[in-house]
Amino acid sequence: MTVVLETRNLVKRFGGFAATNDVSLKIEKGARQALIGPNGAGKTTLINLLTGVLEPTSGTVILNGEDITRLPSHRRVRRGIVRTFQINQLFAEMTPLQSLAMTVSNQIGISQRLWQPLGRDARVAERCESLLRQFNLDDVMDQKVAYLSYGKRRQLEIATALACQPSVLLLDEPVAGVPEGERQAIFDIVNALPADVTVLLIEHDMDLVFNFARTVSVLVDGALFAEGDVKSISTDPRVKSVYLGESQHG
Ligand code: ADP
Ligand code: MG
């Protein structure tokens, strides 16, 4: 098995408090890995360290065998590490088609002028069309993001991340706040992500976690508490007592 992304003894302190406490984690190529843990366990902090939003206090982040600990965020995106945010970060005044056209143009290296007809470039148009279809957004592609349902916005967020052609996609709670009736659509999309994209999913919804993941890592108080396949984690009494037994949406 090839390890794509790895952390070694990663530590992040805020003052005296260790939000990330000596985390050594390996993510294999093509992984369907979930990161779970109680609120405040340090899941988002770990994603921030992997993506370069935060610098670790100590320890290393390794991508394809190369130390990227000090590499800035935008250069990690270029190397294929792309994330979605727990909180929506889309432009409210743009449509899904415009948002995707901007990202895709940027990705293939042509600067998109917003006053030009979008999708003038055939490659951009084609890629946008396929993303809109794949993410079930073709019906709303010309509506302003501000008017989209919450679920559709999350779908657009994942589509935008995928438009960056990630080799590693980090999803931070994709169904958090999504109403019941829209969750299944997001489950389907997450489950249908391309097999060659390595996925690390943070999620509180155990239906999604246990359907999606092959490997589950459990974080508690900033430290890796347990790791294993879905079966061993879902039946581990230690994990149950710290996490699965308590409110899953707390
Ligand atoms: P999770 O995503 O698992 O809910 P977080 O990574 O958001 O957890 O937070 C882990 C801990 O680190 C929490 O106690 C949080 O309050 C703290 N924390 C996160 N970011 C900061 C920050 N920028 N400054 C101080 N404390 C922080
Ligand atoms: Mg979080």
- Check pocket membership of 49 for ligand 1, CB cut-off 6 A: no
Q: Is 79 exposed, middle or buried (0-12, 13-18, 19+ CB in 10 A)?
A: middle
- Taking a 5 Å cut-off on Cβ, the residues next to ion ligand 2 are 43-44
Ligand 1 atom nearest 46 alpha carbon: 6
Q: What are the structural domains of the chain? A: 3-89+165-244 (3.40.50.300)
Q: Are strands 32-36 and 215-220 parallel, antiparallel or unpaired?
A: parallel
pLDDT digits (tens, 9 = 90+) for 109-137: 776 555 455 556 888 999 999 999 999 99
pLDDT value of position 88: 66
Question: If you take atom 16 of ligand 1, which residue's CA is the nearest one?
Answer: 40
* Rounded-to-integer distance, Cα 43 and Cα 48, Å: 9
pLDDT digits (tens, 9 = 90+) for 170-182: 999 999 999 999 9
- Check pocket membership of 39 for ligand 1, CB cut-off 6 A: yes
* Rounded-to-integer distance, Cα 162 and Cα 165, Å: 5
What is the CA(245)–ligand 2 centre distance, in A?
19
The reply to whether the predicted model has a pTM over 0.85 is yes
- Check pocket membership of 23 for ligand 1, CB cut-off 6 A: no
Flag the least confident range among 42-46, 99-103, 227-231, 242-246.
242-246
Question: If you take atom 26 of ligand 1, which residue's CA is the nearest one?
Answer: 14
